[in-house]
Chain A
Amino acid sequence: MSSEHRISIEDVAHVAKLARLHLSDEEILRFTTQLADVLDHASDIESLNTEEVEPTSHPYPLSNVFRSDDPGPTLSSEEALSQGPEVEDGQFRVPPILIRSQQSGAAAMRQ
């Protein structure tokens, strides 16, 4: 991409958040330089005229891939759960999804 689109430290920090990764300040700096290198190299495709070109998402087009709707053997619930880091009552257990901060939580409780 042209230089005004060069990936910034802020972009890298934002993308890390989207990708659920925690990066140290040193890592953010290093990744910014390395990703900018790759994107600079990739900017050579900008010059190609692709106006009339359809994108390829799959190199060997197959359409309507169906099988007959017959029930067959599947993993049992025990097998599916057997690799879970934490399991309870036939389900995967995770930490709380929502956590109230103490004040706003108390406020929410009163409503």
Chain B
Amino acid sequence: MRQGALTLARHVRSGEMSAVEVVEESLAQIKAKDGRISAFNAVLGERSRRRAAEIDRQVALGEDPGPLAGIPVALKDNICASGVPTTCSSRILEGWLPPYDATVVTRLQAAGAVIIGKTNMDEFAMGSSTEASATGPTRNPCDLSRVPGGSSGGSAAAVAAGMTPLALGSDTGGSIRQPAALCGVVGAKPTYGRVSRYGLVAFASSLDQIGPIAADVADAALALEVIASHDPMDSTSIPDPCESLLAAVERDVGGMRVGLITDLLGEGIDHDVTERVEAAARALEESGAEVQEVSVPSISYGLSAYYLIAPAEASSNLARYDGVRYGLRVKGENTEKMNVATRTAGFGDEVKRRIMLGTFALSVGYYDAYYKKAQKVRTLVIRDFEAAYRSCDVLLAPTSPSVAFAFGERIDDPMSMYYSDVCTIPSSLAGHPAISVPFGTGAGGLPVGVQILAPPLREADMFAAAAALERA
């Protein structure tokens, strides 16, 4: 797309451009590029054309379709839209048609957006490369021989390739921010509870959060403003209203206290990435912010805690795929054998590994040593963040320890794949908001993302700092 969501929506609302033109442009881009990139699991051509025509009729009648008038939005394929296949890139949900809309879909459509398609992902959002998809991997538009990151790799690649101005992803341990960084776009994970998860297929319920992926910070702010809301259908939804994020994007960061997280620089982080983060610190300083170094010591245990907690919750959430009520069923002579045959054929390797790990961590004799201990470490991470935020408004860190890696490089070594999330996991465990913003390039001319972290409910500060980096 040649223009961003903010500009396009303004044109559609004023009648300067039609929603049909915008949607046709997006469909044409998908047709031209997705053969190579494979970002989409499904493209909703007819449905989006009909919807765009409705929006144009509204404009012709003098009605305002809303802040996202005519804007194509791609949904990660774990977000339900009524009657639209939702597979989580898993064989076990092949052919399933959800009977209802996710709350984010209702809100997007009420704001005038057009759901353009469903995007590829690591199966059930478990992965950091989109290689663990039953439909095959997505390619990084910046270098087709490299992964787009994951698990929201399809959403990030679709925006990076200009096939849609906006996409939604879900982030459990970094699945919005890491692919955004690897594809050179913006990805925001809001505070846990800020956006309703009603209609998001559950992976790890105490961590999952929906957020936007966009080409720039203002578009991400616009999309998050639309989807952030209290929802009685999600009991974890936060009642507090969200500050205007578009106003925050315009804000001066003079005097803002920024903490550079020293624990996430140096060992384990590639030199080119560290260099860009230090450059981001200098850029914020030049914009008037006060940058200081800060340590959040227990975050070095975050990866361990996460890879016990998330699989434990996943093993429980994925127990529902038993071949009884929806999705795949493989025949068996009794119900238990049918359950086993269905799950064995329906789940890929990574999902099986996480279910096994989680079941083990929750089993008798290991619960206290693994699961409960990890939950206590989670408390320590939150305490250390609280201490850091006594002297800082926001924190600065890398998003990913490296630029986009090659296909096959990590897929057979789970621990090296899990390490891809080392910088994003801490704010997930704490339930805090964080955003990844492209900030120059590293090895091979590939994009590097830097991360702004903020205390709970402080998305406005996070967007202000992110926008300052974008302007730098």
| Residues of A in contact with B (beta carbons under 8 Å apart) | 1, 5, 7, 11-12, 15-16, 18-23, 31, 34-35, 37-39, 41-46, 48, 50, 53-60, 62, 65, 67, 75, 79-80, 82-86, 92, 94-99
Contact = CB atoms under 8 A, between A and B. Distances in A.
Contact of A15 (B323, B363, B369): B363
Contacts, number: 172
A20 B338 CA distance: 10
A42 B340 contact: no
A41 B415 contact: yes
A79 B322 CA distance: 19
A58 B206 contact: yes
A8 to B, nearest CB: 11
Contacts of A11: 360
Contacts of A20: 322, 336, 339-340, 343
Binding site secondary structure of chain B: helix
A12 B352 CA distance: 11
A1 to B, nearest CB: 6
B232 interface: yes
B338 A53 contact: no
Interface of B: 96-97, 99-100, 191-193, 206-207, 232, 235-236, 238, 298, 301, 303-305, 307-308, 315, 322-329, 331-341, 343-344, 347, 352-353, 355-357, 359-360, 363, 366, 369-370, 372-380, 382, 414-415, 418, 429-432, 456
A41 B359 contact: no
Given A38-B414, A56-B382, A19 B359 contact: yes
Nearest to A78: B99
B430 A59 contact: yes
Nearest to B358: A19
Given A11-B360, A85-B323, 5 more contacts: A20-B340, A21-B343, A45-B373, A50-B379, A95-B332
A42 B344 contact: no
Given A22-B340, A95-B335, A75 B99 contact: yes
A67 B326 CA distance: 29
A15 B359 contact: yes
| Cβ-closest 8 pairs across A and B | A59-B431, A55-B375, A85-B329, A50-B376, A83-B326, A42-B304, A56-B378, A65-B235
Contacts of B352: 21, 23, 31
A48 B325 contact: no
A57 B362 CA distance: 14
A95 B325 contact: no
Given A55-B372, A59-B206, A22 B341 contact: yes
Contacts of B303: 41
A60 B192 contact: yes
A106 B326 CA distance: 35
